[in-house]
Amino acid sequence: MEKRLATTVGESSRLARMRAGLTQADVAERIGVATEVYGRMERGKMLPSVPTLLRLCVALRSGPDELMGLAPRNGSGESPWADEVPSGLDDTPEMRRLLRSLRRLKRPQIKLMHLVATAIIARI
């Protein structure tokens, strides 16, 4: 996951830098790192620290959600991480409470709950 995040931050940073009309040296100077270090970040070979990510967001005028791939990139309709969390799984308080309760059960109890759920679904 860390490698994928580094790649996402790098690609997003490159797109934002090009959109801003800046060179790698310009961005590196603005965020206070060597040009080579920024180049490694942009190629996805390393992740920036949190303070460096903040300076990067300011320099590129992009939010951390865009740079980390949590929001759609400009021109793209979907986040690169969209397939990581199944939609609708934990979207209600009731579902989250149920999942927390189920996690505390032992294996035989889980099997029994599965049978109950299957029976309820069959009646619907």
Listed in sequence order, the residues at least 6 apart from 53 whose beta carbon sits closer than 8 Å to its beta carbon are 9, 64, 67, 68
Question: Is residue 79 classed as helix, strand or coil in its secondary structure?
Answer: coil
* Segment 29-85, tens digit of pLDDT: 999 999 999 999 999 999 999 999 999 999 999 888 889 887 765 555 555 555 554
Residue 69 structure tokens: 């791939």
Q: How large is the C-alpha radius of gyration of the chain?
A: 22
In this prediction the pTM is: 0.60
The pLDDT value given to residue 33: 95
